């Protein structure tokens, strides 16, 4: 059973694949750079939370995260990506650690507004979210926020599909079923809310959960290189969420 997802909406991981970004090592193409920027916009907060948990003050963490992505988007570090960093989360975390140890002390902080920032950091929202984070080691904080971001992306995509089909009300009535064991779902009450029979409510929940898993798989796959085991990564993400 997963923890209840938050309502945070971020750009979708599913709009691209990490394999496209890896291809940017060989050729600087507009699609590859767009892919990288999309992924970065979707996942900046896990890295920001990592930097904060590593002991940096809020304003320093903002500068550090902005500078990290500025350098990453300039493609200087894509050449360090290899098979051992097939998972995008692994590549990002290793790159951030190296940046903090080897790069940041060599330069002064990039002042907000003093340089073009490729990735917009919503400082107030970031600190509000960070204040609610459990006390975990920096790596654990990153892993948890990465997993939560994937969950939020999936939930947002699912909600958008229901809204597009004119069934936003059904989604909001059933979304709590995603976090419940099957035996804990009150189908009789749900049927009343949906205006359907209990049998129809069961089918609707089954389809909701099935579609959620499909989208979750898509979003997870989008952060992996071609050939990486999606099921293994999904199990990892679920395990992290289960320990949250």
pTM: 0.76
Q: What integer pLDDT is reported at residue 202 of this predicted model?
A: 96
Q: What integer pLDDT is reported at residue 244 of this predicted model?
A: 52
Convert the pLDDT of each residue in 65-113 to its tens digit. Answer: 888 888 877 766 766 665 555 678 888 888 899 888 876 656 544 444 4
Phi-psi region of 221 (alpha: psi -120 to 50; beta: other; left: phi over 0): alpha
Query: CB neighbours of 52 closer than 8 A, spacing ≥ 6?
Result: 58, 61, 130, 141
β-bridge partners, 87: 224
Give the start-to-end residue ranges of the domains of the chain: 13-242
Residues of the chain with pLDDT under 50: 1-11, 108-117
């Amino acid at each position: 059973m997963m923890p209840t997802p938050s309502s945070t909406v971020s750009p979708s991981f599913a709009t691209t694949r990490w394999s496209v970004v890896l291809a940017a090592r060989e050729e600087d193409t507009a699609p590859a750079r767009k892919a990288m920027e999309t992924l970065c916009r979707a996942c900046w907060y896990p890295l920001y939370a990592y930097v904060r948990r590593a002991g940096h003050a809020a304003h320093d963490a903002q500068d550090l995260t902005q500078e990290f992505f500025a350098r990453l988007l300039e493609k200087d570090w894509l050449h360090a990506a290899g098979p051992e960093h097939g998972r995008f989360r692994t590549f990002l975390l290793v790159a951030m650690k190296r940046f903090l140890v080897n790069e940041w002390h060599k330069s002064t902080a990039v002042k907000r507004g003093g340089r073009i920032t490729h990735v917009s950091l919503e400082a107030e929202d970031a600190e509000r979210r960070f204040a609610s984070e459990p006390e975990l080691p920096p790596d654990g904080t990153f892993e948890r926020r990465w997993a939560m971001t994937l969950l939020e992306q999936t939930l947002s995509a699912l909600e958008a599909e229901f809204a597009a089909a004119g069934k936003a009300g059904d989604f909001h009535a059933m979304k709590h079923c995603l976090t419940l064991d099957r035996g804990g779902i009150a189908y009789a009450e749900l049927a009343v809310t949906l205006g359907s029979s209990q049998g129809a409510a069961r089918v609707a929940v089954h389809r909701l959960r099935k579609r959620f898993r499909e989208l979750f798989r898509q979003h997870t796959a989008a952060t992996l290189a071609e050939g990486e085991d999606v099921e293994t990564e999904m199990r990892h993400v679920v395990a992290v969420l289960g320990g949250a």
